[in-house]
């Protein structure tokens, strides 16, 4: 790939290559945009097929974090790191400490966190070299993000329900939840408490049985979840479950869940819009994790973090308003909301610099 051409086309600020022969570190830090503040985004460790694939993933994920942080109302930009290696075999303390020194050298332009293939222990090792890391085991850390993420998704489902049904009560609504992992199980607890009827599936039979026993959920086979007669479909496992095959089978009026990259392709968001199905864009409804971890930057306060998470409801309402106002699908409306926020800050900043330049030129 022509790296500079790609960075210019999508307006990336910086790409940092980090190498340490002693520890075997090969990492790429992508900083997409710092208009709203320092770039925040996790560190992913993965066995990429080649270096180009790793660069593309870092760039794609960094841009995604710009939009996620902007839509979440955070004063943070977007960045991401990928470490090339097998997280089961290639980790060592020296690797993460070397990486921490690279983060420190960026002087706060980039703040990292846990992601696929990395853990709290890894963040602790990074923290030995830099303070620009969140999700550590320190007493000031936000801890397990799953319950907070679930709370945000719950609030997001209520906002989407209000858009589809006229009020946000979930009592009596049938909700099909795909996946019953840590986030989805905590979500099911919120939904059950409000009186929703749950239909669940997961390849992990124990997880399914737990939801059946504790929440009176009905269990179905993984492929049958798309055919359930339900009000709300909540994808909380794999990405790309909204596709040509499944859209034709879904009976829900609302799609709102915690999974990443729910639309297989952008066109599937267009199809949902045409069919009148309310879709809560994934990077907005599942943003409580990043909202929670970002609160650490002020000295973590759980109640303050939860109050910020509750604003996911308001963000989705604004997105649905933009969708109706401009007659565009909600996934495009979400991008528009994030872009408008960044553009507003850029404009105010440029006006300030222009004024400052004018004052200096008169001296």
CA distance 173 to 24: 52
Strand blocks (E) in the chain: 14-20, 25-33, 39-40, 43-46, 77-84, 110-111, 174-178, 197-201, 218-219, 232-235, 254-255, 278-279
CA distance 22 to 52: 23
Beta bridge partners of 114: 43
Are the beta carbons of 85 and 27 closer than 8 angstroms?
no
Location of structure tokens 């989407």: 160
80 catalytic residue (yes or no)? yes
Of 68, 80, 158, 197, the catalytic one is: 80
Integer CA distances (angstroms), 114 to 31, 132, 257, in order: 17, 12, 21
Integer CA distances (angstroms), 236 to 142, 240, 250, 281, 289, in order: 22, 11, 15, 13, 14
CA distance 72 to 95: 32
Q: Name the DSSP letter for residue 33.
A: E
Are the beta carbons of 132 and 104 closer than 8 angstroms?
yes
Tell me the catalytic residues.
80
């Amino acid at each position: 790939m022509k790296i500079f051409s790609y960075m210019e086309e999508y307006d990336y600020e910086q790409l940092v290559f980090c190498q340490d022969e002693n520890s075997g570190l090969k990492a790429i830090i992508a900083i997409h945009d710092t208009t709203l503040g320092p770039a925040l985004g996790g560190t992913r460790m993965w066995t990429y097929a080649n270096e180009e694939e790793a660069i593309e993933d870092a760039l794609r994920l960094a841009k995604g974090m710009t939009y996620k942080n902007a839509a979440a109302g955070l004063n943070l930009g977007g960045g991401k790191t990928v470490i090339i290696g097998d997280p089961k075999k290639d980790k060592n303390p020296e690797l993460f400490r070397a990486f921490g020194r690279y983060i420190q050298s960026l002087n706060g332009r980039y703040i990292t966190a846990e992601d696929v293939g990395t853990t709290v222990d890894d963040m602790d090792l990074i923290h030995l070299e830099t303070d620009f890391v969140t999700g550590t085991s320190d007493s000031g850390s936000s801890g397990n993000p799953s319950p907070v993420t679930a709370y945000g998704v719950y609030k997001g489902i209520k906002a989407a329900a209000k858009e589809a049904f006229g009020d946000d009560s979930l009592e009596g609504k049938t909700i099909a939840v795909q996946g019953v992992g840590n986030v989805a199980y905590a979500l099911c607890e919120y939904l059950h408490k409000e009186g929703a009827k749950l239909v669940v599936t997961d390849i992990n039979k124990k997880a399914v049985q737990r939801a059946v026993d504790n929440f009176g959920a009905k269990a179905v086979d993984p492929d049958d979840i798309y055919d359930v007669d339900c009000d709300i479909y909540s994808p909380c496992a794999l990405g790309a479950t909204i596709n040509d095959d499944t859209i034709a089978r879904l009976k829900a009026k609302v799609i709102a869940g915690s999974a990443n990259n729910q639309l297989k392709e952008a066109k599937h968001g267009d199809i949902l819009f045409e069919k009148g199905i309310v879709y809560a864009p994934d990077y907005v409804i599942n943003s409580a994790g990043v909202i929670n971890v970002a609160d650490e930057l002020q000295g973590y306060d759980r109640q303050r973090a939860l109050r910020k998470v509750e604003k996911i409801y308001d963000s989705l309402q604004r997105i649905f308003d933009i969708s109706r106002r401009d007659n565009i699908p909600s996934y495009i409306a979400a991008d528009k909301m994030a872009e408008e926020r960044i553009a507003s800050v850029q404009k105010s900043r440029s006006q300030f610099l222009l004024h400052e330049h004018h004052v200096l030129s008169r001296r």
